[in-house]
Amino acid sequence: MSDSIDDRTHGATALGNAQAAAPADALHDASKPQTMSPAGTAESITTVYEKTDDKPLDGMDDDETGEELTKQITNIDDFEERPYGWLVVLGAFLVQVTSFGTATSWGVMQDYYEKIFGESQTLNLSFVGTIALICINVSAPLAQIIASLLGTRIAMAIGTICVTMGLITAGWATQIWHLYLSQGVLFGFGASIMYCSIMSIAPLWFNKRRGLALGVVTSGSGIGGLVLPFLMTAVNAKLGPGWTYRILGFVCFGCDVLATILVKPRVPVPRQRKKLSDIIQLEVLKNVNMMLFTVGSLVALFGYFIPYFFLPSYATYKNMDSTQGAALVAVSSACNFVGRILAGFTADYMGQLNTNILFTALGGLSSLLIWTFADSYGVLMAYSAIFGIFCGSYFALLSPILTQIVGFKKFPTALSILLIGNAISVFGPNIASAIESSVSSPPYFSYKMFSGAAYLLGALILCVLKLRINRNVFAKV
C-alpha cells in the first residue's frame, strides 16, 4: 500500500484527488472495517493524512515563507470543481440567512422590548443577542463532535429543530430571561451546528473560485438581515411578538430543511468518533500567525454588532419611527450581502488577507467619520450602506485565511478555537453599553467611538500578520 501512496507525488495532491484516485485501503485499515458515511468535512482530510506516510500541512512555521505555503496550498487544490458545488453554496447560503441573519436582526425586537420593559432594561435586553452569538461560537466543538458521531445530515437536522424551537418558544416569553433561554441558548446552539457543518464542507468544493463561493455563502446573513427586519416589523405591528417569532421560526425551518438536503461532502470518508481533545488541539496556539489572526479578528469584531444592535434605537432617539430604524438595519444588511461577495471576488485577485485588512480599516473609518456626525435620516442611511459593505469581510474570508495559516489538517481545530475566541467579541455591545452609561458624553457617542476604534485596531494587528507572512507590502497574501 505504501508504494501506491508514494506514486502520488505529494500527500496534498492525494487529498485533492482522494475520491477519484485513492484506493479504499488507503483510507482505512483493512483489519478495522469502518462504515463509509458522508462526513466529508475538513476532518475527513485529516483522516487521509493520518492514514498515509506523507507529510501533512501543519501550517506555516516562523521560518516558512509565503511562497512555500502557496505551493502547498496549490497542491491541495489540485482537483476539478463540479457544478453541484454551487447547490452546496445555496444550502450554506440559506443557513447563513437563518443563523447570523436572524441574530443581527435582534435590534428590531430589542427596540420593541425596550418600550415594553423600559429603557432601563437596555443592557439586559442586549444580552439576548449576545447569548445567542456566544452559543453559536462556543458550541462549535460540540457541534463538530455531533457531526462526527451522527454524520453531517443528521447533525444539520438536529440543528434545524433547535433553531426552529428556539424561535417559536421565544414567542411565549414574558420575562427577559425567557428570551435568554429560547432565542439565546436553544437557537444559538442549533445555529452553531448548522454553521459548523456548512463551513467544514462548502470550502472543499472549490479551489479557483473558493473566495467567491465563500463570499456568496456568507452573504446570506446580509440577505437575512435585509429581509427579516421588514418581516419582523410588519408582523409585530399587526400580530405582536408571539406570532412574529412563530412565523420567523417556520421561515427558518423551511430554509434549514432545504439546506440539510442540499449540503453534502465532496468526498465520502469513514465516520469517526471524536473526543473534545481531538478537536481542541492546543498546540495550534503555538502558531504565532494563528494567534495574530485570532486576536486581530476578535478585536475588530468587538465593533461589528454595535451598529446592528443600536441603530434602530439611535433612530428612535433622533425622532425617527420604527420603520425607518428597521430600514437602516435592512440597508446595512443588503450592503453586507454585496460587500461579502465583493470581498470574496476581490480576494481571488488581491489576496485574502490583504482584502480583509482593507475592508476592516474602511469599516472602522465609516463609524468614526460618518456615524459620529449622522443626525439626519439620509446621513444615517449612507453610513448604514458604507458600513454594511466593508464590515463583513472577516466572515467571508475566515476559512481561506485560516487554511492558509494552519493548513487543511488543522483547520477544524483552528476553526473551533477561532469561534470560541469570537465568543468574547460578542460582548462588544454590552461593553459599549456599560461605557455609555458610565460617561457623560452625548447619547450614543460611546457606541460610535467604540465600533470605529475596534475595527481600526483589529486592522492594525492584521497588518502585523501580513508582514510576518510576507514582508513585501504589495505581495498578494
Strongest mean pLDDT among 78-82, 282-286, 371-375: 371-375
- Per-residue pLDDT band at 156 (split at 50, 70, 90): very high
d(CA 156, CA 403): 23
* Residue carrying the nine cell digits 495550534: 284
* Mean pLDDT value of segment 332-339: 84
The model's pLDDT over 232-258, given as tens digits with 9 standing for 90+, comes to 888 888 888 888 888 889 999 999 999
- Per-residue pLDDT band at 441 (split at 50, 70, 90): confident
- Per-residue pLDDT band at 10 (split at 50, 70, 90): very low
pLDDT score for 72 = 46
Strongest mean pLDDT among 137-141, 210-214, 321-325, 453-457: 453-457
- 3-state helix, strand, coil split of the chain in percent (to 5) is 75, 0, 20
Which one has a higher pLDDT value, 453 or 18? 453
The model's pLDDT over 96-114, given as tens digits with 9 standing for 90+, comes to 888 887 887 777 787 777 7
- Per-residue pLDDT band at 197 (split at 50, 70, 90): confident
- Per-residue pLDDT band at 64 (split at 50, 70, 90): very low
d(CA 229, CA 105): 6
Residue 456 has pLDDT above 80, yes or no: yes
d(CA 101, CA 112): 18
Contacts of 36 (CB under 8 A, 6+ apart): 268, 269, 270, 271
Residue 4 has pLDDT above 60, yes or no: no
* Mean pLDDT value of segment 263-280: 68
pLDDT score for 280 = 64
Give the residues across from 270 on adjacent strands. Answer: 36
Question: What's the chain's average pLDDT?
Answer: 78
Q: What is the distance, to the nearest Å, from the Cα of residue 468 to the centroid of all Cα atoms in its chain? A: 25
DSSP assignment of 22-77 equals --GGGTS-TTS---EEB--SHHHHHHHHHTSSSPP-----TT--HHHHHHHHHHHT
pLDDT score for 467 = 92
DSSP H or E run through 269: strand 269-270
pLDDT score for 277 = 66
Residue 32 has pLDDT above 50, yes or no: no
The answer to whether residues 436 and 447 touch, using CB atoms and an 8 Å cutoff, is yes
Residue 73 has pLDDT above 70, yes or no: no
pLDDT score for 285 = 79
CA dihedral 129, 130, 133, 139 (to 10 degrees): -130
pLDDT score for 316 = 86
Residue 345 has pLDDT above 90, yes or no: no
pLDDT score for 450 = 93
